[in-house]
Amino acid sequence: MRMGPAELVQAAAMARRFYLEGKSKIQIAEEFGVSRFKVARVLETALERDLVRIEIRVPAELDAERSDALRARYGLRHAVVVESPAEASEESPDPENLGEVAADLLGELVNEGDVLGLAWGRSTIHMAAALDRLPPCTVVQLTGVYDAGTAERGSVEAVRRAAQVSGGDAHPIYAPMLLPDAATAAALRNQTGIARAFEYFDKVTVACVSIGSWEAGISTVHDMLSDEERGHYASLGVAAEMSAHLFDSEGRRVGRDLGERCITVKTDQLRRVPEVVAIAGGQRKAAAIDAVLRSGLVTSLVTDTAAADYLMTAGPTPKPALNRADPDGI
């Protein structure tokens, strides 16, 4: 039915009160001397007749539709999809702006008194460099460094940076991520400074991790191993690496013996962390991201549109991540 001028004016006034001034339907009904049910009908008609247009806007770099779809598909608590750079190709590494967006996300997720854990990864290093706000919290390093000689430019510096922004204590780990054998790794874990950091692993409330594909230049662990070792783990079906833990395409852990040689948080400890944020993107990492998400260890993801498009059609629908179930049943 056609609305007359009086109806149009009244509908516009009610819509202004409701959408712009934030008044309730009851308040509007009292002002205009009608029932709240009529107010509801008028507001509905205003939408149907295009008298009111509702526009949802987010920053241009964020893809809200893909973000929500990805969150629902994997049962994540948060999924934030960032537009891939126009010049990105299949060979491109993680876009650096993922770290910037992840820094803003951590500003939302971390509360005063939390223990923030940071694992090694180029994305987490970019994230730490972009941090400009964090409530007072303790910051602990969750893995050793890729190369002890570059610790100042890597995860140690990331931990220091996050602690500086938050004003909290920092607990870095001055040790390589991968050691020659399990005995050497065990001895390092017992050293005072490293043992002190390990004591915080069970207290971590928010963790930030990176994901790597099992190929040169994309997995730091892959790059640290010999050709023979790489071949051995490849034969086990490894598809992804996170914090020195290996996963097959179904999210099951493989090559558990490698963990005995590494300075890193355990997977069962990560599974108990309330919020585990993974930062990873790009076409080259898409399959690896899918594998790690299927492990149930990650609760939130910051990625890009290139990876998100793959993830939305990757294999059967995975189990919701928030049940934190271990796919190995262990």
Mean pLDDT by 10 residues, the chain (330 residues): 75 90 93 93 89 69 88 93 72 73 92 95 89 94 72 75 95 90 92 93 96 81 84 91 93 90 94 96 92 95 94 79 60
Tell me the C-alpha distance between 174 and 194, whole Å: 7
Whole-number Cα distances in Å, 260 to 210, 224, 255, 264: 20, 15, 10, 9
Using the structure block, give the residue that is written with the tokens 């602990």.
140
Please report the pLDDT score of residue 42 as a whole number: 92
Please report the pLDDT score of residue 223 as a whole number: 81
Tell me the C-alpha distance between 227 and 321, whole Å: 34
DSSP state letters, 46-76: HHHTTSS-------TTB-HHHHHHHHHHHT-
Please report the pLDDT score of residue 147 as a whole number: 59
Tell me the C-alpha distance between 59 and 278, whole Å: 21
Please report the pLDDT score of residue 55 as a whole number: 67
- The tokens for 54 are 């509702």
Report the run of H or E that residue 81 belongs to, with start and end: strand 78-82
Please report the pLDDT score of residue 2 as a whole number: 66
Please report the pLDDT score of residue 91 as a whole number: 59
HEC readout, 219-259? CHHHHHCCHHHHHHHHHCCCCEEECCEEECCCCCEECHHHH
Tell me the C-alpha distance between 64 and 96, whole Å: 19
Please report the pLDDT score of residue 305 as a whole number: 93
Contacts 24+ apart (CB under 8 A), 230-239: 233/258, 238/214, 239/213, 239/214, 239/287, 239/288, 239/291
Tell me the C-alpha distance between 330 and 170, whole Å: 32
Tell me the C-alpha distance between 217 and 29, whole Å: 64
Q: Residue 80: beta bridge partners? A: 302
Q: Residue 304: beta bridge partners? A: 82
Tell me the C-alpha distance between 305 and 315, whole Å: 18
- The tokens for 116 are 């923030």
Number of other CB atoms surrounding residue 200 within 10 Å: 19
Classify residue 49 by burial, with Cβ atoms within 10 Å: 0-12, 13-18, 19+. middle
Q: Decide: pTM greater than 0.85.
A: no
Classify residue 36 by burial, with Cβ atoms within 10 Å: 0-12, 13-18, 19+. middle
Tell me the C-alpha distance between 214 and 115, whole Å: 30
Helices (H) and strands (E) in the chain, counts: 14, 11
Please report the pLDDT score of residue 150 as a whole number: 45
Closest CA to 230 of 218, 242, 214, 243: 214
- The tokens for 296 are 């149930």
CB 121 within 8 A of CB 279: yes
Tell me the C-alpha distance between 239 and 288, whole Å: 6
